[in-house]
């Protein structure tokens, strides 16, 4: 072992004296250690010597005082750094990982990779900090500190360049990988991209190599990757990127597990993806040949893995419930199952509901009484729906309150969810609560049944999409939004009149959508929210888009973790807020101040005022905090008319804004967050009977739908443009000859049809009048008889 000494600058006499004393003391300690361990073998002697040297307090203190450091590199030579040598622990080495990333590539055991990959694959010496200490003061073996620093910086720059090369280059000299499985994945992608047949060799978990499998042409392409102790990563140390062989059209690395990895996402989205289509897709995309049997085995492998994953998750659902109750006391967690055939048989999962204490109590204390309800599809193999209730805080941000997993979105499940939500939040009959949702039938019936007094608003965007399905007129959309955003009944009627003048048919169909549920002119006062869009639920569904692709427990944990992190981040933002109101409320107040300059105020007795806004007068009552435009009462923030009075009378805006928008109330919303939950390994084990996953829901029986879109009013039902559409055609009953129904549902008696008119042109009789009701045969006979007359 060569040891480098780097003395700091001293005068010559002091440095010489110190060096002599140091040398004597170090030699004495080394000699003492050698005498004590003479019976031990050489490797143990060297380790003990170094440990004794390190444990001598005087020596280490002297080195710190003198600015001298000692370091040994992995090969036993003097290191290029000026820091203490650190011996790698056995636990730092990479463990053998089988099946990581879903890759199980055919490997050939090769104990001696040096034959195939040269000297770089030679067994490296184990890193050790042991040394005899004989050459510790040999000045000839101490490298120049400046040159060693330059070499280290050059090595770092080289590594940085190697790891920042274009991502299209999958393999290059010096590239590092986190584990052997990552190297295998990169090798597989290289084989797929270049269409060369690559053969993998393995000596140990830390030494891998690959060569071109064409042995006849002796193709020189090869790559060798092994564990680099200094970086604690796998690194490519040999790479000859040269092919002289021809592409064979198949790859030995493209096995069952590799095909499963390539088609995992597509098979999750479309389980009906056949083995023939998989083989054709590989041929089209990679120009490689695989058999249909390989694709079938890959598909079966994915199915078994997903099934096993789901069974594991559902079997631990009782333990997950216990962990949630332990970590977040007083939270509501409800799991309902379908009983088995016998009392001792396994139950089947039905639905799951969770409402954390922090989310429930902070919503009751500090949030406006408005809740958005919506459902979203789950994207894992076992189909289902996620139902969620979302609130809104003082800064108009989402506050998830509760969520549930159900099999299907129907009346029973929505009624169950709303009933639990009503119990948790203490909504009673819903007299002081506002619900926003789309027009899902099960949801409408559940709210009507459980919260009969609640105000139920419909999402205007869904109403507009259904209303203008048959028309793409942009002016109709502009008129619709004017109607939806009208705060007074007068503005509502004026815009409705304009719509009738422009398009009477559209006016009639819009009235059938129940405008009182989505126009602001009919909203109740008290919610401090004028929302007529269900953006609350849409935003929440967007944040959990990736979580919905995962199995049950992983999905629930992702949603909980997102809410926990969101609460923590917003708590920090709220604690640093210096203004009286939240950021968005403050911006709205400043905007109303700016718009109020066009208004003109007229004084009246008491604290009443008349404000003129573009030749329209509004009455403002400062005592009751009301305005004739209704916006102040509906939002809780003074409108432009109230702002005009406040500014002219030099009053404080703080006294006229709802408390829900204050910074203190916003801090209360995030004062209590969701508490952390431990991992699955640390959950309590209740040893209850595991729960079976819900059955796989098959699609509709029979021929699959062609997913045709809805046709327009006068659009043909077929792709031919020469036929008129039968859509909205008036049907006539063949039994009673009345319109509006068919013969199969006719409640009337049969009506005799008039006799059919004979075919052909009517003939004249002897008197010169046309014959009526004469058959064709009689007519022909009469004509023949007439022709025989003289």
pLDDT at 80: 37
Residue 40, C-beta contacts closer than 8 angstroms, at least 6 positions apart? 48
Question: Is a pLDDT exceeding 70 seen at residue 112?
Answer: no
Least confident span in 52-61, 265-274, 720-729: 52-61
Q: In terms of domains, do 556 and 455 share one?
A: yes
Average pLDDT over residues 256-267: 81
Average pLDDT over residues 265-276: 78
> Which one of 661, 686, 719 terminates a domain?
661
Average pLDDT, the chain: 76
Please indicate, yes or no, if residue 787 is contained in any of the structural domains.
no
Please indicate, yes or no, if residue 91 is contained in any of the structural domains.
no
Work out whether strand 332-338 and strand 385-392 pair parallel, antiparallel, or are unpaired: unpaired
Work out whether strand 332-338 and strand 233-240 pair parallel, antiparallel, or are unpaired: unpaired
The rounded distance, in Å, linking the Cα atoms of 67 and 417 is 70
Q: What is the DSSP string of 349-385?
A: EEEEEEE-HHHHHHHHHHS-SEEEEEEEE--SSS--E
Please indicate, yes or no, if residue 673 is contained in any of the structural domains.
no
> Which one of 661, 681, 709 terminates a domain?
661
pLDDT tens for each residue of 48-107: 443 443 443 433 333 333 333 333 333 333 333 333 333 333 333 333 344 444 455 556
Query: What is the phi-psi region of residue 101: left when phi exceeds 0, alpha when psi lies from -120 to 50, beta otherwise?
Result: left
Note the Cα 293 to chain centre separation in Å. 34
Burial of 373: CB neighbours in 10 Å, binned 0-12, 13-18, 19+? buried
Collapse the DSSP code of 609 into the 3-class scheme (helix H, G, I; strand E, B; otherwise coil) and give the result: strand
Task: Please choose, from the candidates 492, 344, 353, the residue with its C-alpha nearest in 3D space to the C-alpha of residue 416.
Answer: 353
Least confident span in 224-233, 242-251, 518-527: 242-251
Question: Is a pLDDT exceeding 60 seen at residue 675?
Answer: yes
Residue 154, C-beta contacts closer than 8 angstroms, at least 6 positions apart? none
Average pLDDT over residues 692-720: 61
Please indicate, yes or no, if residue 183 is contained in any of the structural domains.
no
**pLDDT confidence bin for 704, thresholds 50/70/90:** low
Check residues 724 and 433 and name the one with the higher pLDDT: 433
Domain count within the chain: 2
Q: In terms of domains, do 587 and 564 share one?
A: no
**pLDDT confidence bin for 271, thresholds 50/70/90:** confident
pLDDT at 108: 64
The rounded distance, in Å, linking the Cα atoms of 655 and 651 is 8
Q: In terms of domains, do 412 and 368 share one?
A: yes
Query: Contacts by 363-367 with C-beta closer than 8 Å and gap 24+?
Result: 363/391, 363/399, 363/401, 363/425, 363/669, 364/425, 364/426, 365/668, 365/669, 366/393, 366/394, 366/660, 366/665, 366/666, 366/668, 366/669, 367/391, 367/392, 367/393, 367/394, 367/399, 367/660, 367/669
Please indicate, yes or no, if residue 175 is contained in any of the structural domains.
no
pLDDT at 279: 87
What's the 3-state SS for 405-433?
A: EECCCCHHHHHHHHHHHHHHHCCCCCCCC
Task: Please choose, from the candidates 691, 752, 742, the residue with its C-alpha nearest in 3D space to the C-alpha of residue 350.
Answer: 691
Please indicate, yes or no, if residue 279 is contained in any of the structural domains.
no
Q: How many CB atoms lie within 10 A of CB 71?
A: 17
Residue 67, C-beta contacts closer than 8 angstroms, at least 6 positions apart? 6, 7, 8
Q: In terms of domains, do 448 and 545 share one?
A: yes
Q: 251, 243 in Cβ contact below 8 A?
A: no
Q: In terms of domains, do 623 and 647 share one?
A: yes
Structural domain containing residue 636: 583-661
pLDDT at 584: 92
Residue 645, C-beta contacts closer than 8 angstroms, at least 6 positions apart? 601, 609, 611, 620, 622, 651
Question: Is a pLDDT exceeding 90 seen at residue 452?
Answer: yes
Average pLDDT over residues 107-118: 63
∠ CA 780-783-788, rounded to 5°? 130
pLDDT at 496: 93
Q: In terms of domains, do 558 and 414 share one?
A: yes
Check residues 391 and 263 and name the one with the higher pLDDT: 391
Query: Contacts by 136-144 with C-beta closer than 8 Å and gap 24+?
Result: 136/3, 136/26, 137/5, 137/23, 138/2, 141/2, 141/78, 142/2, 142/3, 142/4, 142/5, 142/78, 143/4, 143/78, 143/80
Question: Is a pLDDT exceeding 60 seen at residue 16?
Answer: no
Q: What radius of gyration do the chain's Cα atoms show?
A: 41
Q: In terms of domains, do 339 and 431 share one?
A: yes
Please indicate, yes or no, if residue 335 is contained in any of the structural domains.
yes
Average pLDDT over residues 267-293: 82
Q: Could you tell me how many residues make up the chain?
A: 790
From the DSSP assignment, how many helices (H) and strands (E) are in the chain?
25, 18
pLDDT at 252: 76
Task: Please choose, from the candidates 274, 324, 269, the residue with its C-alpha nearest in 3D space to the C-alpha of residue 296.
Answer: 274
3-state helix, strand, coil in the chain (%, to 5): 45, 15, 45
**First and final C-alpha spacing in the chain:** 147
Work out whether strand 616-621 and strand 608-613 pair parallel, antiparallel, or are unpaired: antiparallel
Q: In terms of domains, do 538 and 656 share one?
A: no
pLDDT at 130: 37
pLDDT at 139: 41
Q: In terms of domains, do 430 and 405 share one?
A: yes
Question: Is a pLDDT exceeding 70 seen at residue 340?
Answer: yes
Collapse the DSSP code of 779 into the 3-class scheme (helix H, G, I; strand E, B; otherwise coil) and give the result: helix
pLDDT at 784: 43
Average pLDDT over residues 438-461: 92
Question: Is a pLDDT exceeding 80 seen at residue 606?
Answer: yes
pLDDT at 730: 74
Question: Is a pLDDT exceeding 60 seen at residue 229?
Answer: yes
Q: What is the CATH number of the domain that holds 360?
A: 3.30.420
pLDDT at 293: 87
Residue 766, C-beta contacts closer than 8 angstroms, at least 6 positions apart? none
Please indicate, yes or no, if residue 698 is contained in any of the structural domains.
no
Average pLDDT over residues 323-346: 90
Q: 480, 507 in Cβ contact below 8 A?
A: no
> Which one of 641, 661, 681 terminates a domain?
661
pLDDT tens for each residue of 146-165: 344 444 455 555 555 544 44
Q: 349, 378 in Cβ contact below 8 A?
A: no
pLDDT tens for each residue of 540-590: 999 998 899 888 898 999 999 999 999 999 999 999 999 999 999 999 999
Most confident of 33-47, 587-601, 720-734: 587-601
Q: In terms of domains, do 542 and 419 share one?
A: yes
Q: In terms of domains, do 530 and 602 share one?
A: no
Least confident span in 197-206, 283-292, 686-695, 725-734: 725-734
> What's the whole-model pTM score?
0.61
Average pLDDT over residues 429-433: 92
Average pLDDT over residues 193-210: 81
pLDDT at 113: 65
pLDDT at 95: 39
Q: In terms of domains, do 554 and 627 share one?
A: no
pLDDT tens for each residue of 470-501: 677 889 999 999 999 999 999 999 999 999 99
Q: 80, 149 in Cβ contact below 8 A?
A: yes
């Amino acid at each position: 072992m060569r040891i480098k000494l780097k003395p700091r600058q001293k005068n010559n006499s002091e440095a010489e004296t110190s060096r002599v004393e140091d040398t004597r003391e170090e030699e004495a300690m080394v000699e003492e250690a050698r005498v004590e361990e003479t019976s031990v073998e050489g490797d143990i002697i060297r380790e003990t010597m170094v440990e004794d040297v390190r444990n001598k307090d005087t020596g280490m203190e002297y080195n710190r005082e003198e600015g001298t450091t000692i370091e040994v590199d992995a090969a036993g030579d003097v290191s290029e750094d000026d820091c203490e040598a650190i011996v790698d622990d056995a636990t730092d080495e990479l463990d053998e990982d089988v099946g990581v990333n879903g890759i199980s590539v055919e490997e050939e055991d090769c104990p001696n990779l040096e034959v195939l990959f040269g000297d770089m694959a030679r067994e490296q010496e184990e890193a050790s900090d042991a040394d005899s200490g004989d050459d510790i003061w040999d000045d000839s073996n101490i490298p120049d500190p400046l040159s060693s620093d330059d070499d280290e910086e050059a090595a770092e720059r080289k590594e940085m360049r190697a790891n920042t090369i274009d991502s299209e280059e999958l393999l290059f000299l010096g590239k590092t990988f986190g584990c052997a499985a990552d190297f295998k994945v990169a090798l597989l992608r290289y084989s797929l991209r270049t269409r060369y047949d690559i053969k993998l060799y393995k000596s140990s978990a830390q030494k891998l190599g690959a060569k071109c499998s064409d042995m006849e042409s002796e193709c020189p392409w090869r790559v060798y990757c092994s564990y680099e102790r200094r970086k604690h990563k796998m690194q490519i140390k040999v790479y000859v990127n040269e092919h002289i062989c021809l592409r064979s059209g198949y790859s030995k690395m493209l096995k069952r597990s590799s095909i499963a990895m390539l088609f995992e996402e597509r098979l999750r989205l479309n389980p009906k993806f056949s083995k023939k289509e998989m083989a054709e897709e590989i041929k089209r995309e990679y120009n490689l040949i695989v058999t249909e049997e390989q694709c079938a085995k890959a598909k079966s492998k994915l199915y078994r893995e997903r099934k096993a994953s789901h069974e594991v998750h559902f079997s631990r659902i009782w333990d997950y419930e216990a962990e949630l109750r332990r970590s977040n006391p007083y939270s509501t967690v409800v799991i309902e199952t379908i009983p088995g055939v016998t009392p001792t048989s396994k139950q089947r999962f039905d639905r799951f509901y969770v409402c954390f204490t922090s989310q429930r109590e902070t919503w009751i204390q500090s949030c406006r009484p408005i809740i958005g309800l919506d459902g979203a599809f789950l994207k894992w193999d076992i189909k289902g729906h996620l139902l969620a209730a979302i609130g809104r805080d003082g800064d108009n941000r989402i506050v998830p309150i509760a969520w549930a997993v159900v099999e299907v979105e129907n009346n029973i499940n929505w009624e169950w969810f709303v009933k639990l939500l009503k119990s948790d939040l203490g909504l009673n009959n819903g007299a002081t609560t506002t619900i926003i949702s789309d027009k899902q039938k099960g949801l409408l019936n559940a709210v009507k049944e459980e919260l009969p007094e609640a105000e139920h608003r419909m999402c205007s965007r869904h109403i507009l999409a259904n209303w203008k399905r048959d028309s793409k007129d942009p002016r109709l959309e502009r008129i619709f939004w004017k109607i939806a955003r009208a705060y007074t009944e007068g503005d509502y009627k004026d815009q409705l009149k304009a719509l009738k003048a422009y398009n009477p048919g559209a006016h009639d169909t819009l009235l059938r959508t129940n405008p009182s549920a989505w126009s602001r002119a009919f909203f109740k006062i008290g919610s401090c929210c004028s929302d007529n869009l269900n953006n609350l639920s849409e935003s929440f569904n967007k944040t959990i888009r990736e979580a919905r692709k995962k199995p049950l427990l992983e999905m629930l944990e992702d949603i909980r973790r997102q809410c926990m992190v969101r609460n923590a981040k917003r708590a920090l933002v709220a604690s640093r807020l210096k203004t009286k109101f939240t950021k968005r409320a403050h911006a709205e107040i400043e905007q109303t101040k700016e718009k109020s300059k066009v208004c003109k105020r007229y004084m009246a007795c008491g604290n009443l005022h008349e404000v003129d806004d573009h030749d329209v007068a509004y009455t403002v009552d400062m005592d009751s905090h009301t305005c004739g435009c209704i916006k102040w009462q509906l939002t809780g923030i003074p409108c432009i008319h109230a702002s005009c009075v406040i500014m002219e009378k030099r009053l404080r805006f703080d006294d006229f804004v709802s408390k829900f928008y204050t910074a203190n109330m916003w801090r209360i919303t995030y004062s209590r967050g969701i508490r952390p939950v431990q991992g699955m390994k640390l959950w309590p084990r209740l040893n209850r009977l595991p729960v079976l996953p819900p059955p796989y829901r098959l699609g509709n029986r029979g021929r699959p739908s062609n997913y045709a879109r809805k046709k327009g009013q006068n659009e043909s039902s077929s792709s031919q443009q020469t036929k008129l559409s039968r859509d909205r055609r008036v049907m006539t009953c063949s039994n009673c000859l009345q319109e509006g129904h068919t013969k199969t549902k006719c409640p009337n008696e049969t009506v005799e049809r008039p006799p059919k008119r004979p075919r052909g042109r009517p003939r004249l009789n002897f008197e010169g009048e046309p014959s009526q009701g004469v058959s064709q045969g009689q007519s022909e006979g009469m004509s023949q008889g007439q022709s025989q007359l003289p």
